[in-house]
Amino acid sequence: MNSDSFPSGTGEHAVAISQVAERQWHAVEGDRVVGRGDMSRRPDGRMFLSIDAWDGEVFDRLADAILADLPRPLHTVVDEADLDLTSQWERAGFAIRRREWEYLVPTDPRITGLDSVPPPEGVTIVTAGKVEEAPLRTLDRAIRDEVEATVGWQEMPAEVVPGPIVLDPSKYAVAARPDQYVGLVRLAAVTRRPRIGLIAVRSDRRRRGVARALLAHVLGALHHSGTEAASAEVNESNRAAMALFEGIGARRTGSNLELVLR
């Protein structure tokens, strides 16, 4: 593997930079690992970097070594509140490409106002656990085709990946017409609170209340189970999604930045 070294800021040992695996780098001072770098390729082809280092000098050296070996463009995601980390990536040549707002979404219908939101006429909500895989896969493919034809996958949250995936119907609730599924919401179970990973409606069924009905169902079920809030992330350019969440009392709790080096 490739390696490089430079004097330590402490003057005790030189720090050696080594590529320890195909997509991993270490900065080692003496017998201690003082920094790590990782690269992951997303299914849409984008390459994302992460660097965890003890100090800014080690970060810079790791970034120099990694960037010398990789093609462009390269991406990374940081918490916008972490000003030091953001500036470190900017020193390496990265620039802000987009922002995703993090929302805390209440489940109590007295707060959301969704207690009296029925599905549109002709639409029923199929709860998680009762969703059929074949029509769910058809809906998923239709929504993906619409995304690809409009904003493109580079504007979608990182977890919403293009291409073939394994769908788990138990994680979805859907809006159904007699002949097809027309909308879906995916709820991911995470350590602290459930996360609304995706809410989407076919383009020919939007602006009819389908998304609100799906949220009413999912949030109502969470409230009934004793869960006070869920989380969600929304691209700041997605004004419709921001209005949907803020209209039910969701509040912003932070933001993540995607940076890119071209």
Q: What is the pLDDT of residue 165?
A: 55
Amino acid making up residue 163:
G
Worst-scoring range by mean pLDDT, 7-21, 62-76, 83-97, 244-258?
A: 7-21
Q: What is the pLDDT of residue 166?
A: 62
Task: Judge whether 44 and 161 are in contact, CB under 8 Å.
Answer: yes
Report which of 138, 222, 214 is spatially closest to residue 175, judged by C-alpha positions.
214
Angle at 123 between CA 152 and CA 242, to 5 degrees: 40
Report which of 235, 234, 247, 253 is spatially closest to residue 196, judged by C-alpha positions.
234
Q: Are strands 195-201 and 229-235 parallel, antiparallel or unpaired?
A: parallel
Q: Where are the domains of the chain?
A: 3-99, 101-256
Q: Rounded CA gap, 29 and 210, in Å?
A: 57
Same fold, 3-99 and 101-256: yes
Q: What is the pLDDT of residue 92?
A: 97
Residue appearing with tokens 């990789």: 70
Chain CA centroid to CA 180, Å: 28
Task: Judge whether 7 and 16 are in contact, CB under 8 Å.
Answer: no
Amino acid making up residue 93:
G
Amino acid making up residue 210:
V
- Can you give the three-state secondary structure of the chain, one letter per residue? CCEEEECCCCCCCCEEEEEEECCEEEEEECCEEEEEEEEEECCCCCEEEEEEECCHHHHHHHHHHHHCCCCCCEEEEEECCCHHHHHHHHHCCCEEEEEEEEEEEECCHHHHCCCCCCCCCCCEEECCCCCCHHHHHHHHHHHHHHHHHCCCHHHCCCCCCCCCCCCCHHHEEEEEECCEEEEEEEEECCCCCCEEEEEEECHHHCCCCHHHHHHHHHHHHHHHCCCCEEEEEEECCCHHHHHHHHCCCCEEEEEEEEEEEC
Q: What is the pLDDT of residue 154?
A: 60
Q: pLDDT: is 192 or 205 the higher one?
A: 205
Share of the chain above pLDDT 70, in %: 88
Q: Which two tokens stand for residue 27?
A: 């900065």
Q: What is the mean pLDDT of residues 7-19?
A: 73
Q: What is the pLDDT of residue 116?
A: 85
pLDDT (tens digit, 9 = 90+) per residue, 67-122? 998 999 999 999 999 999 999 999 999 999 999 999 999 999 999 999 989 999 99
The residues that bridge with 258 in the sheet, in sequence order, are: 77, 98
pTM: predicted TM-score of the whole model, two decimal places = 0.83
Q: What is the pLDDT of residue 161?
A: 47
Q: Options 3.40.630.30, 3.40.720.10, 3.40.640.10, 3.30.720.110; which CATH number does 3-99 get?
A: 3.40.630.30
- The superfamily (CATH) of domain 101-256 is Gcn5-related N-acetyltransferase (GNAT) (3.40.630.30)
